[in-house]
Amino acid sequence: MGVIGYGLGVIGAGLAIGLSALGATGAMARQPEVQGRVFTVFIMGSAFGEALALIGFVVALIVK
């Protein structure tokens, strides 16, 4: 059962990082002059998405 929870956590993290990258590249294509700020926000979003995957992994280990 814990493996299913971890799998769902990884799917959520993958979607979060993918949507973050989609938004960042779209914003940089529209306004290249704000690339630095957009990239910073993208890195923060990716870190939060990856943290969700790690939390899912820990919860899967605890539930097991």
pLDDT tens, residue by residue, 22-53: 999 999 999 999 999 999 989 988 888 888 78
Q: Return the closest-CA partner of residue 46 out of 23, 11, 16.
A: 16
Model confidence band, residue 2 (pLDDT cutoffs 50, 70, 90): low
DSSP the chain: -HHHHHHHHHHHHHHHHHHHHHHHHHHHHH-GGGHHHHHHHHHHHHHHHHHHHHHHHHHHHHH-
pTM for this entry: 0.70
Is it true that domain 2-63 has CATH number 1.20.20.10?
Answer: yes
